């Protein structure tokens, strides 16, 4: 009987703090909290439908704009390259504070890949 007495003495009653933290008790207590949280969310959304819809629409608009930019980027680059090639626009512009010397012009003309070089000045 001493073994039975020892096991009964070490067993904690169900109302102690340690047993209150066990999962089955917590699961029973959290179910009403989850219901109240869901109800609170529904009530809040019902009271502010306009604000909710405006935030969602702004998020959708931003997402669509980002997707559009990613989709049209390569096409825009190809269009720009074709326009520059068709109209023979400058690929590179070299500017200097004090102007370019004849040696600078020679270096630019002799650079690999340069088919044509034009030089001039502008007043600001």
d(CA 56, CA 52) in angstroms, rounded, equals 6
Give residue 95's pLDDT: 83
Higher pLDDT, 86 or 116: 86
Cβ density class 24-61: b for 16+ within 10 Å, e for less: eeeeeeeeeeeeeeeeeeeeeeeeeeeeeeeeeeeeee
Which of the residue ranges 7-11, 63-67, 112-116 would you say has the lowest mean pLDDT? Answer: 7-11
Check whether 14 has a pLDDT greater than 80: no
pTM of the model: 0.38
């Amino acid at each position: 009987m001493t073994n039975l007495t020892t096991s009964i003495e070490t067993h904690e009653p169900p109302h102690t703090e340690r047993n209150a933290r066990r999962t089955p008790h917590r699961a029973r207590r959290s179910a009403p909290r989850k219901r109240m949280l869901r109800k609170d969310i529904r009530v809040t959304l019902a009271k502010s439908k306009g604000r909710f819809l405006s935030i969602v629409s702004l998020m959708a608009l931003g997402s669509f704009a980002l997707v559009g930019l990613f989709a049209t980027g390569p096409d825009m680059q190809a269009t720009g390259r074709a326009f520059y090639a068709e109209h023979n626009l400058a690929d590179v512009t070299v500017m200097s504070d004090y102007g370019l010397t004849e040696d600078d012009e020679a270096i630019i003309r002799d650079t690999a890949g340069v088919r044509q070089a034009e030089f001039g000045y502008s007043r600001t």
